[in-house]
Amino acid sequence: MSDKNALVPSQEKGGALELGGDSQDFVTANIGKQLFGIPVLTVQDVLGPQRITRIPLSPPEVAGSLNLRGRIVTAIDVRKRLGLRDREDDDPGMSIVVDEGGELYSLMVDQVGEVLSVPKKAFEQNPATLDPRWREFSDGIFRLDKKLLVILDVTRLLDFTSSVKQAG
Amino acid sequence: MDDLLSEFLTETSESLSTLDVELVKLEQNPNDPDILSNIFRLVHTIKGTCGFLGLPRLEAVAHAGENVLGKIRDGELVVTAEAVTLVLESIDTIKYLLGELEQNEAEPDGNDAELIARLNHFADTGEIPGGAPAAEAAPAAAEEAADEEVPMTDDEKLQAAFDAAEYDPDFEVPDEPAAAAEPEPEPEAPAKPAAPPAAAKSQEVAPAKKPAEKAKAEPRGETKESSVAAQTIRVNVELLENLMTLVSELVLTRNQLLQMVRGKDDSEFTVPLQRLSHITTDLQEGVMKTRMQPIGNAWAKLPRIVRDLALEMNKKIDLQMIGADTELDRQVLELIKDPLTHMVRNSADHGLEDIPGRRDAGKPETGTVTLNAYHEGGHIIIEISDDGRGLNLDRIKAKAIANGLTTESELESMGDQQIQQFIFKPGFSTAEKVTSVSGRGVGMDVVRTNIEKIGGTVELKSVEGRGSTFIIKIPLTLAIVSALIVESGGERFAIPQISVLELVRASNNSEHSIERIHDTPVLRLRNRLLPLVTLKRILGLDNSDATDESLDEEAFIVVAQVGTYSFGIIVDRVFDTEEIVVKPVAPILRDLSLFSGNTILGDGSVIMILDPNGIATRTGEITVGGSQGVEGKAKQDASDRETTSMLVFRAGGNEVRAVPLALVARLEEIDVENIEHSNGRPLVQYRGKLMPLVFIDGSYQMKAEGRQPTLVFQDRERTMGLVVDEIVDIVDDVLNVELTADQDGLVGSAVIDGKATDLIDAGYYLELAFSDWFGNEESGGEKKRVLLIDDSPFFRNLLTPMLSVAGFNVTAVENAEQAMELKNRGNQFDAIISDIEMPGMNGFEFAEALQDDAEWGEIPIIALSSHTSEEDFERGRQVGFSDYVAKFDRDALVSTLIQTLSSM
C-alpha cells in the first residue's frame, strides 16, 4: 500500500490542467514484486479468476482460452512469458484483457492495481543490462517514488512468431 | 415467376438505385475514377445478365449506356451535366423496361432506337443532340399508353388503374394506387423527380404526349419499390453476427437459470422459464437459419447459362449438379457465387470440345460439366469438373513465357501441376479467341482472389485430353456445425459431426475389442481393420506413464472419416452433440493443425474444435493433406473394390493367412514320407521333377507322418511348394491391404471374410526357394532391366520378387514422376511395366510422354491394369503401349515380357 500512497501526489499533479499533456495513464499490475504498466487505452477489461480451457499443443505461455461475454479470449501467462517461475501460493490471480489486432487476449498477472497517471518526464529507456527477454517486452521504465514501473509492450508480448525466431 | 428472372429483378433494382446515387456523385466529381468504374461495372453487369436472360431490348439500352461510360472512362469524353442526363435517361429506360418485365415477365414490344442513337452519337462525337424528346425513348409503349390515357379525374384514374392492372403494362397499380393517381390531377405538373431533366425538356417539344409521358415516368420512378424487391431485404451480415452473439448469450443465461431452478420442483419460475427456454431455442434456430443457405441457390442460374452457351457454341453439354442442398453461410455463398459461375462458364466454354472435336477424341458427343458440393472434415468442398480437353500445357508454357511470368529454363524444372498453376495468374487466358463469355483474361486470378478472401483454396487437376477438375475448399469458419463433444485427458473437445461416422464402445467383454499390432491399436469393425489413434496421446495430454493397457478395458472410439480414409479416435468419454458456431482461433494458435477453430458451448465454456483432417495427417499413415493423396487413395479404393479370390490357409500357429489364388498353381497333399532332403533342404519329386518345399517361417514344424497340404507355385519351368497346416477356404473378397507389415514374407494385413488375415508375399517364398536352388543359374547371362511402375505397394511387393525370380533385373518405383526422374538421371531399361491408374501422371500420359522421348522412346511399355476393356486396349496402343496385361495374370505378364523383349 505504501507505494500507492506515495503515488498520490503524482496523480494529483496529473489531474492538474497544466500538466494534462505531460502525463500518461497506465493500468498497473504486479507480478512477483515487480510493478508493470499497460497503457490504459489498450485495456478492455480486468477480470478475476476465470474458468480457462487448456489448449493442448499450444505454446507454454498460452494458458488457454476463456469466454468473455460471448467472445473467446486467449489467456497468456505473463509470468511464463517473462521467464518467471510459476507462483508458489495458489492465489488464482487476476487478468487484464487487451485488444490486439482485433483479437482479445487476457494477460494473467498476480494482482491488478489502480490506474496511475505518471509524468512523462519520469520516463527512462530500458537499462542496457536488462534481461534480453524483458527488454523485448518492455517499452521503457517510469521512475516512481520507491518503485519502478515497467511498461509492457503488449504487441511484442503477444507476438509469438518473433520470439520463436529469436529462440531459433 | 421464373426464379432467375425474379432474382435478376431484385438485383438489378438494387444496382439501379446505387447507379442513381453514383451518377449524381459523378456529376459532382467528374474526375473520380472510382465512382466511374463502379458505375461502369454496374451497367456492365446489367448488360451481361440481360444477355444471358435473353432480354435483347434491355441489353441494347444497357450496351449503349455502357459505351458512353466506357468512353468517359477512357478519357475520350468529358463528364458534363448533359452526359449524365443522357446516361440517367438510359437508366430510366432500363427501369421502365424492368417494370414491364416484372409485370409481364417479358419485355414490352418496341425499341429504343432513338435513345440508343443519341447515346451512340454522343459516344462517337461527344455532342448531345439538343432537345430530342425523351418520350420517344420508348415510342411504342408511349404511344400505346397515349391511346389509352386521356386526362381523368382522380377517381376515374384510380378506377382505371385498377381495371388496367390486368393489361396495362404502364401501371404499378396493386401496390400503389395512390401513388399512381397522385400525379394526375395536374397534367401540367412539373417533371417529377424521378423523371430526368430531359423529360422536362420533352414537355415543351412534344406537349401532345404529356399524358403518356406522365404515365411512363410514373412507373419508372416507382418500380424499384415493386413487389418482388419488397419480399426480401438485405441485412448486413455483421448485424446477424451480432445478433448471433446476443442469442448465444441469451442461451447461456437461460441455461444458467434452468440450472438454478432444476431440483426445485414447484418453483413459481418453472413455467415462465420453460416458455423462455422454448422461445430462446426458436430464436436461436431462426438466427442461425438467416445465415444458412443451400448452395443450390448459387447454382440456380447455371443450367440456363450452360444451355445458352451450348447453343451459342454448338456444343452438347450436360450439367450435373450434386449436393445442391449443402448448406453454406450466406456470406460465403455470396462470395463464391461469381467465381463459381465463372468457372462453370470456363469449363463449358474452354474445357469442353465442340461436337466434332469430341467425336475425334473418341468421346461421347455430349460433354459433361459436374458440380459437386459436400462437407468434408470441417470444410465445404465444391468440385467443378469437365470431361473436356483439359489444360494445354504447351500453350500455358508459351503464354507464361510470353507474359514474362517465367523463363524456359524455369519451366523445365516444373512439374505439370506447377505449370497448370499459371492459369491463376492475372491476365492469363489461353483461349485462342475471345468469346462473349470468357477468354478475356480476367478470370481465374479473380476467382482465386475471391476464394482466398474467404480463407478458401482452389486446386486444379487437369489431364490433357481427359478434362479438368477444380476443387474449391472453403473453411467452415463462418458456418454453424453440429459437433460431437468428447472428453480426453480431462479436457473437452468438439469433433465436427460431419466427419464422424459412428461411435463404438470397445471393451474386452464386448464384441469389439481393441487389438494390437506391435504397439499400434486397431479395431475390427464390420470386416474392416480400423486404425486407431489415442486422442490423449496426440494432444500430449497423456501425463501418466501407464501403457495403453488401461484403455483396453473400456474405450470409446469415434470413427471419423477424412476423404476416403477412415480411422478411429480413442477418447475417454463421449457427451452430447451440440450446434456450434465455429470461431477462428487466435492468430498465435493458427499453426496448431489439429484444431479447426474454437467455440463457446451452451454452458459458457470455451472448447477447441478438433480437425479430423489434421489428426489424420498427424498420425500419418497416409498424407491426407495433399489432394493427390486423397485422390490416389480414392482411386486405389476404387480398384480395390473389385473382389479378388483369396486362398485362406493356416500354417504354423492359429492365425489365418492368405494369398491371391491366381498366384497358386495347384493345391497338393504331399505324403510326408515322400519328402526327401538334399543339401539339408526338403524337396519332393513332383511330376517328374524336384520341387523344393519352403515353410512359412524358420520355426515351422512339419507333421511327423501323414499328408501335408502344400500350395504349389509355378513359375515357368519351376515349381515350388509352400507347406501349410490346413487350407481353410477360398474367399472372394475385396482385397484391401490395410496395414503394411515390415516382416519378411508378409505383404500386410487385410480383413478377409471378417477376420484379420496376414497376406503372404508369394514372391518372397519364390525367391526363397529359387535363390537357393536355381538363383545362380541366371547370373551368368546378362539380366534384362525392367522398370516397374505401380502406385500400390502390394503389387510392387508382389511383382518385384516374382520378376526377379523370372530373371529380370527389376527397379520398382511408385509413380510416373519417379520414373521420369530415373530417366532424367540417365538410367536405361529394356522394358517398362506401368500401371494405368496412378495418382498424378497416369499410365496413358506416361506412355504418351515417352513416345517421342530421345532416350526412352524405343523402350517397350507394357500396361498393367485391372481394367481391360476394349477401349482401354485401343487407347493403350495409341499412346504407345506395346501390350496390355491384366493385373494378377502373372504368367501372362512374364510371357509377354519375354515375348516383347525377344521381338526387339
Inter-chain residue contact B586 with A105, CB threshold 8 Å:
yes
Is B603 touching A (CB cutoff 8 A)? no
Confidence at residue B114, expressed as pLDDT on a 0 to 100 scale: 82
Which residues of chain A neighbour B491 with C-beta distances below 8 Å? 53-54, 56
Whole-number mean pLDDT of chain B? 72
Q: Say whether B182 sits in a helix, a strand or coil.
A: coil
Q: In what order do the strands lie in the sheet with B746-752?
A: B726-734, B643-650, B656-660, B755-760, B746-752
String of DSSP letters for B761-799: -HHHHHHHHHHHHTGGGGGSSPPEEEEEE-S-HHHHHHH
Burial class (CB in 10 A: 0-12, 13-18, 19+), B463: middle
In this complex, how many residue pairs, one in chain A and one in chain B, have their CB atoms less than 8 Å apart? 62
Q: How far apart are CA B357 and CA B370, in angstroms?
A: 20
Q: Which residues contact B114 (CB under 8 A, 6 or more apart)?
A: B132, B136, B137, B139
Q: How far apart are CA B817 and CA B806, in angstroms?
A: 27
Q: Say whether A125 sits in a helix, a strand or coil.
A: coil
Confidence at residue B196, expressed as pLDDT on a 0 to 100 scale: 42
Selection from B522, B528, B530 nearest residue B548 by Cα:
B522
Grade residue A46 by pLDDT with cuts at 50, 70 and 90. Answer: very high
Residue B847 pLDDT greater than 90, yes or no: no
Average pLDDT over residues B86-90: 81
- Each residue of B29-54: pLDDT tens digit? 777 778 888 888 788 778 777 777 77
Residue A5 pLDDT greater than 50, yes or no: no
Say which residue, B754 or B353, is predicted with more confidence.
B353
DSSP state of B499: G
Confidence at residue B219, expressed as pLDDT on a 0 to 100 scale: 42
Q: Say whether B483 sits in a helix, a strand or coil.
A: strand
String of DSSP letters for B716-748: TTEEEEEE-SEEEEEEEEE----B---STTEEE
In this structure, what are the phi and psi dihedrals at residue A148, rounded to the nearest 5 degrees?
-115, 135
Selection from B340, B282, B610 nearest residue B476 by Cα:
B610
pLDDT > 90 in chain B, percent: 2
CA nearest B535 in A: which residue?
A56
Q: A-contacting residues of B 116-175, CB under 8 Å? A: none
Residue B70 pLDDT greater than 60, yes or no: yes
Selection from B881, B885, B884, B819 nearest residue B855 by Cα:
B819
Candidate from A57, A66, A70 with C-beta closest to B594: A57
Confidence at residue B734, expressed as pLDDT on a 0 to 100 scale: 66
Residue A27 pLDDT greater than 90, yes or no: yes
Asked if B878 contacts B859 with a C-beta cutoff of 8 angstroms, the reply is no
User: Could you tell me whether strands B831-835 and B861-865 are parallel, antiparallel, or unpaired per DSSP bridges?
Assistant: parallel
**Cell numbers that stand for B842 in this block:** 497416369
User: Could you tell me whether strands B666-671 and B676-678 are parallel, antiparallel, or unpaired per DSSP bridges?
Assistant: unpaired
**Domain positions in chain A:** 2-161
Inter-chain residue contact B245 with A70, CB threshold 8 Å:
yes
Q: Out of B392-406, B542-556, B805-819, which region has the weakest mean confidence (pLDDT)?
A: B542-556
Confidence at residue A6, expressed as pLDDT on a 0 to 100 scale: 38
- Residue length, chain B? 904
Selection from A55, A86, A59 nearest residue A72 by Cα:
A55
Is B593 touching A (CB cutoff 8 A)? no
- Each residue of B620-664: pLDDT tens digit? 644 333 333 333 333 333 333 446 677 888 887 777 888 877 777
Q: A-contacting residues of B 476-515, CB under 8 Å? A: 489, 491-492
Say which residue, B318 or B641, is predicted with more confidence.
B318
Residue B493 pLDDT greater than 90, yes or no: yes
Inter-chain residue contact A56 with B594, CB threshold 8 Å:
yes
* Termini Cα distance of chain A: 42
Confidence at residue A38, expressed as pLDDT on a 0 to 100 scale: 92
Rounded to the nearest angstrom, the minimum Cα separation between B238 and chain A is 15
Average pLDDT over residues B275-290: 83
Which residues of chain A neighbour B539 with C-beta distances below 8 Å? 56-57
Residue B514 pLDDT greater than 50, yes or no: yes
Q: Which residue matches cell numbers 514484486?
A: A33
- Each residue of B675-696: pLDDT tens digit? 888 777 788 887 777 888 888 7
Say which residue, B82 or B481, is predicted with more confidence.
B82
Grade residue B489 by pLDDT with cuts at 50, 70 and 90. Answer: confident
What are the DSSP E strand ranges found in chain A?
A: 23-31, 34-39, 43-47, 62-68, 71-77, 94-100, 103-109, 111-119, 123-124, 138-143, 148-152
Rounded (10°) angle between helices B81-104 and B197-205: 90
Q: Out of A116-125, B287-296, B528-537, B638-647, which region has the weakest mean confidence (pLDDT)?
A: B638-647
Q: How far apart are CA B559 and CA B569, in angstroms?
A: 6
* Termini Cα distance of chain B: 71
Residue B266 pLDDT greater than 50, yes or no: yes
Q: How far apart are CA B543 and CA B252, in angstroms?
A: 33
Confidence at residue B563, expressed as pLDDT on a 0 to 100 scale: 59
Is B539 touching A (CB cutoff 8 A)? yes
String of DSSP letters for B78-114: ---HHHHHHHHHHHHHHHHHHHHHHHHSSPPSS--HH
pLDDT > 70 in chain B, percent: 73
In this structure, what are the phi and psi dihedrals at residue B22, rounded to the nearest 5 degrees?
-65, -40
- Side chain identity at B590, as an amino acid letter? R
Candidate from B249, B491, B587 with C-beta closest to A53: B491
Whole-number mean pLDDT of chain A? 80
User: Could you tell me whether strands B784-789 and B808-813 are parallel, antiparallel, or unpaired per DSSP bridges?
Assistant: parallel
- Each residue of B346-396: pLDDT tens digit? 888 878 888 888 888 888 888 888 999 988 766 788 999 888 888 888 888
Which residues of chain B neighbour A101 with C-beta distances below 8 Å? 587
Residue B178 pLDDT greater than 80, yes or no: no
Distances from the Cα of B787 to the Cα of B379, B813, B830, B832, angstroms: 40, 8, 8, 5
Which residues of chain A neighbour B615 with C-beta distances below 8 Å? none
Asked if A12 contacts A65 with a C-beta cutoff of 8 angstroms, the reply is no
Confidence at residue B739, expressed as pLDDT on a 0 to 100 scale: 62
Confidence at residue A72, expressed as pLDDT on a 0 to 100 scale: 87
Q: How far is CA B61 from the centre of its chain?
A: 39
Q: Which residue matches cell numbers 435513345?
A: B115
Selection from A157, A141, A51, A52 nearest residue A100 by Cα:
A157
Domains of chain B, with CATH numbers?
Answer: 3-230 (1.20.120.160), 237-294 (1.10.287.560), 296-475 (3.30.565.10), 480-625 (2.40.50.180), 637-770 (2.40.50.180), 782-902 (3.40.50.2300)
Confidence at residue A96, expressed as pLDDT on a 0 to 100 scale: 93
Residue B148 pLDDT greater than 70, yes or no: no
Q: How far apart are CA B903 and CA B883, in angstroms?
A: 12
String of DSSP letters for B271-318: HHHHHHHHHHHHHHHHHHHHHEEETHHHHTTHHHHHHHHHHHHT-EEE
Q: How far is CA B375 from the centre of its chain?
A: 10
**Cell numbers that stand for B41 in this block:** 461495372
Grade residue B494 by pLDDT with cuts at 50, 70 and 90. Answer: very high
Asked if B580 contacts B601 with a C-beta cutoff of 8 angstroms, the reply is yes
- Each residue of B418-467: pLDDT tens digit? 777 777 776 665 554 444 444 444 467 777 777 766 656 777 888 888 88
- Each residue of B130-147: pLDDT tens digit? 544 443 444 444 444 444
- Residue length, chain A? 168
Say which residue, B28 or A129, is predicted with more confidence.
A129
Rounded to the nearest angstrom, the minimum Cα separation between B604 and chain A is 7
Which residues of chain B neighbour A67 with C-beta distances below 8 Å? 600, 604-606
Residue B697 pLDDT greater than 50, yes or no: yes
Average pLDDT over residues B320-349: 81
Confidence at residue B481, expressed as pLDDT on a 0 to 100 scale: 66
Top CATH class, A2-161: mainly beta
Grade residue A105 by pLDDT with cuts at 50, 70 and 90. Answer: very high
Confidence at residue A115, expressed as pLDDT on a 0 to 100 scale: 92
Confidence at residue B101, expressed as pLDDT on a 0 to 100 scale: 81
Q: How far is CA B643 from the centre of its chain?
A: 29
String of DSSP letters for B150-166: ----HHHHHHHHHHHTT
Confidence at residue B436, expressed as pLDDT on a 0 to 100 scale: 44
DSSP state of B50: H
Say which residue, B2 or B572, is predicted with more confidence.
B572
Region class of B166: left (phi > 0), else alpha (psi between -120 and 50), else beta:
alpha
User: Could you tell me whether strands B755-760 and B784-789 are parallel, antiparallel, or unpaired per DSSP bridges?
Assistant: unpaired
Confidence at residue A37, expressed as pLDDT on a 0 to 100 scale: 92
DSSP state of B756: E
Asked if B214 contacts B203 with a C-beta cutoff of 8 angstroms, the reply is no
Asked if B328 contacts B444 with a C-beta cutoff of 8 angstroms, the reply is no
Q: How far apart are CA B572 and CA B228, in angstroms?
A: 54
Asked if B90 contacts B23 with a C-beta cutoff of 8 angstroms, the reply is no
Asked if B551 contacts B569 with a C-beta cutoff of 8 angstroms, the reply is no
Say which residue, B334 or B225, is predicted with more confidence.
B334
Residue B310 pLDDT greater than 90, yes or no: no
Average pLDDT over residues B2-8: 72
Rounded to the nearest angstrom, the minimum Cα separation between A62 and chain B is 9
Burial class (CB in 10 A: 0-12, 13-18, 19+), B662: middle
DSSP state of B349: I
Grade residue B119 by pLDDT with cuts at 50, 70 and 90. Answer: confident
Is B543 touching A (CB cutoff 8 A)? no
